[in-house]
Amino acid sequence: MRKILLSLLFLSLCCTSLPAADLSPIVDSQTIAVIRIDLKQVDTERIMRFLNDEIADIVPQIAPSQAEAGQMILMAQGGVMAGAMYVQPILKALQNDGKADEMFFIVDKTAITEGIYPLFAAIPAAASKPKEEVDAIRRQFLQNQLPVTFQRHGFVIGMPALEEMGLADKDEVMSFARSRFANPSTEKRPEFAEAFGRSDIAGSMIQAVVGDVSMFAEEMEAMSEMPEEIRAKMPSEFEELMELNKVSQKLTQEKLNYMLMSLNIQKPELTSVTVMKDEAAAKEMHELNEKTMQLYGRMLQRVQQGDMGQPGPMEMGILSAISGLMGTMGTIKPELAGKEILFSLDAKVYAAVKKTMIVMTNLWMQESTPLRNR
């Protein structure tokens, strides 16, 4: 029973600003994703208040005792404060001295396959930008462990120094980054320009665009597999769900144009947009999503009715969390419009996801306690 519920929960969980700069010189066929941060909207004090409130709410629900909860809250809130003290001066320097409005993080396929840390940090720095502003940006890279800093094609580009973490040699990273951006890209990746230029995400603090998922084909296929001993205990709908998952993965590999997620902290609201290459593919993906949700509902109903065995206290807790999450998600109706599938997640969905993760954390802590006490 517990494995069935855990598998069901895992599957359910998987499921006015300035226009962004012209990224065409630094994105090419090796670019997997680009994340844009609107520096003007990064309100560290507001974020710190939100995190502290969440810590005070979540920790007592997962801590073994009131005393341990108090210690964990103090440690976590201290970490939040330390992080804010680190980030605030960097933001201030970038915004005030460097006159930077936005910052990008670029996920690079070549860097991943060659074992180099895959994230590049990039801040627009046009040729007309005063030298003192460019120097201010470069100094912030250097002072905050981003030693690979150089101006290329209208951007100051940096890459984290991970030699201390054993992930990449500093000289190797520097050499790679300089060769990687030696010349402006002439390859066309119009999906990034289209995604960042959308009016419906204007005003969001963070925007992430994924334009290529082909290199993750094997990983995605592996995630859809389940050990035979677990599959044997799953409801009959599970096999149909796995088949739908395979069809969805294949469609994503062949017909995805881009996926976009944006976070607006003013509402708050998380918006997701999947843009396919044609309307037929979008309709098929939309129908697959609807069928998947229907299967989840049928599986959950069977478990609730006891068709898969009588759940114990822990299983009932998981069942309650899944039911709440599915009930909340069921009120969200993705919109199909031409080649696009769009839906927004509001505070109610966040609360349901948080409740589910608290239940999962408690389960993990209970099942791992014997191992920790050995």
Query: In this structure, what token pair is assigned to residue 1?
Result: 């029973």
Domain final residue, candidates 180, 212, 238: 180
Helices (H), ranges, the chain: 2-14, 44-62, 66-92, 109-113, 131-143, 170-180, 190-196, 217-223, 228-231, 237-255, 279-304, 313-330, 347-372
Domain final residue, candidates 133, 155, 180: 180
Number of domains, the chain: 2
Residue 219, number of CB atoms within 10 A of its CB: 9
Per-residue pLDDT of the chain (374 residues), as tens digits, is 555 444 544 444 444 344 557 888 888 888 889 999 988 888 888 888 888 888 888 888 877 788 888 888 888 888 888 888 878 888 888 888 889 888 898 888 887 777 776 678 888 887 788 889 888 888 887 776 665 556 667 788 777 655 544 555 667 767 777 777 777 777 788 899 899 888 888 778 899 999 877 766 655 565 556 566 655 656 677 778 788 888 888 898 889 999 999 888 777 778 889 999 999 999 999 999 888 878 777 777 776 666 555 555 555 555 565 666 566 555 567 889 999 998 887 777 777 777 777 776 776 666 555 434 44
190 found inside a domain: no
169 and 109 assigned to the same domain: yes
User: Does pTM surpass 0.85?
Assistant: no
216 and 84 assigned to the same domain: no
174 found inside a domain: yes
Range of the domain at 223: 2-17+197-369
158 and 234 assigned to the same domain: no
Please check whether residue 46 is in contact with residue 88, taking contact to mean a CB–CB distance below 8 angstroms.
no
Domain final residue, candidates 180, 211, 230: 180
